[in-house]
Each structure stands twice: as structure tokens, then as C-alpha cells.
């Protein structure tokens, strides 16, 4: 399946990003892993002559909710293709007034509020403790920040992403608590980032702010997030 395919760059698409239209000369690769199948066939193509692998984490058409994504299969499959660096795109809500809808955030920290997910590849037979003091790749973070600036986007160079279980959104009380500690809120960063670290893959997130979370007056709307 992955035979004769080798690509060093991986892109994981989030809500609203299911089709890698920027890639040329593409092929679809169906993968299997020791942890099951990834969310969708992986599209491998070229961006300005560079081989890139693209995977929509929610599946094609957004049919997999965040708490049901097979994160281990997704990261393992990209590693099998030779991926060494992952840029993960995600839709998030803002927990702070100065981070506005339409802004980009390149987080440097996260807080994990998920509950039922499988966080590791190490289920037994070996004890392995991974350091996550600085969970994101500094090289990829700088690349994302500089590229966003060069295109004139409003980009926040740091931020703490709080990851909740989903698929429900927060209550107002939860949202007001979260904004004391974090800047943006989403449902897919964990365990994606930790699994990438276990496989020694450089990982960074480009977060697109779709709305203010419910600490603000207007409740979060799922259709607005996908748009």
C-alpha cells in the first residue's frame, strides 16, 4: 500500500478542510495499521515540487466526531509513509477578546481536558515517558508564523490551546473557567500531538479562530465552525 511512496511532510486537515486542492499529481493511498484504518485514504501529491501527504482527520465530508477519531492510526500511517513533519490545521474558538474570529493562532502550549481517548502507542511491554514541556516543534512554529505574516494574516505567535472531549461544546461556566488558563479551545489536538512526539515526528498546529466561545454572549454554532 505505502510501498514506493515516501514523503517527509504531512498535513492533517481539520473542520472544513477535507480536500488538498493545492496539491498536484496526486494519488490516493489506502492504509492499514496495527491500530486499524486511518480516517480516510491519504492523498499524496506535490506542492511546488515537494512531496506532501494529506489526511482529513474527520474523514471525507466530516463524518467522524472528535472523540471517535482513530488518532493512533492516523499518526502511524503518516509515519509509515516517511513523514517527519506534520502541520495540523484545526478550527478553534477564542477564549480571549483580543483573539478575534478570522485570526490565526500558532499555539505553544496545551491543556488536556479530554477523558476517554487513547493517548499512547505504548500499551504494555515497555515503559516509555515522553517529555512534553514544549510540545510543539519550534522550527515548524516559526515557519507557520512567518508564512502567515508574509500573506498579511493576523497571527498570534503564542497561545495555550485547551482540548476538550467533545462532541458537545462547553457550558458558559466551563468556558469562563477555561479562559482563566487558556487562549483558544478545540477538540482534536490531544492525543494527536502526543502521539506524534512518541514517534519522533515534528508537529505544529495552525489554528483558525472561527468564533468566540460561549463565555461571550452568542452560543457556539456548529455550522459556523465548519464554514
Residue 100 to residue 73: CA distance in whole angstroms: 34
Q: What angle do CA 145, 149, 154 make, to 5 degrees?
A: 95
The continuous run of DSSP H or E covering 26 comes out as: strand 24-29
3-class secondary-structure state, position 220: coil
Q: Which of 103, 112, 183, 211 is catalytic?
A: 211
Q: Which of 112, 117, 57, 49 is nearest to 88 (CA)?
A: 57
Judged by DSSP in three states, 25 sits in strand
* DSSP-assigned letters across all residues of 112-136: EE--S----S--SSS------SS-S
Active site residue 25: no
Q: How far is the C-alpha of 201 from the C-alpha of 196, rounded, in Å?
A: 5
- Catalytic residue numbers read 211, 213
Amino acid at each position: 500500500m505505502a510501498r514506493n511512496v515516501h514523503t517527509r511532510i504531512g498535513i492533517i486537515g481539520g473542520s472544513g478542510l477535507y480536500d488538498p486542492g493545492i496539491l498536484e499529481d496526486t494519488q490516493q493511498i489506502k492504509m492499514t495499521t496495527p491500530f486499524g484504518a486511518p480516517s480516510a485514504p491519504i492523498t499524496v501529491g506535490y506542492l511546488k515540487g515537494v512531496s506532501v501527504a494529506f489526511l482529513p482527520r474527520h474523514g471525507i465530508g466530516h463524518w467522524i466526531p472528535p472523540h471517535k477519531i482513530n488518532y493512533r492510526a492516523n499518526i502511524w500511517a503518516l509515519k509509515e509513509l516517511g513523514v517527519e513533519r506534520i502541520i495540523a490545521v484545526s478550527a478553534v474558538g477564542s477564549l480571549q477578546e483580543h483573539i478575534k474570529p478570522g485570526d490565526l493562532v500558532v499555539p505553544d502550549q496545551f491543556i488536556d481536558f479530554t477523558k476517554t481517548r487513547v493517548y499512547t502507542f505504548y500499551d504494555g511491554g515497555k515503559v516509555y515517558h515522553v517529555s512534553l514541556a514544549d510540545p510543539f516543534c519550534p522550527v515548524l512554529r516559526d515557519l507557520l508564523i512567518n508564512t502567515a505574516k508574509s500573506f498579511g494574516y493576523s497571527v498570534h505567535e503564542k497561545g495555550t490551546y485547551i482540548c476538550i472531549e467533545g462532541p458537545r461544546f462547553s457550558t458558559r461556566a466551563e468556558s469562563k473557567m477555561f479562559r482563566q488558563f487558556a487562549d483558544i479551545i478545540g477538540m482534536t489536538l490531544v492525543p494527536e500531538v502526543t502521539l506524534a512526539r512518541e514517534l519522533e515526528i515534528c508537529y505544529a498546529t495552525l489554528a483558525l479562530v472561527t468564533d468566540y466561545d460561549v463565555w461571550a454572549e452568542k452560543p457556539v454554532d456548529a455550522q459556523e465552525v465548519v464554514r
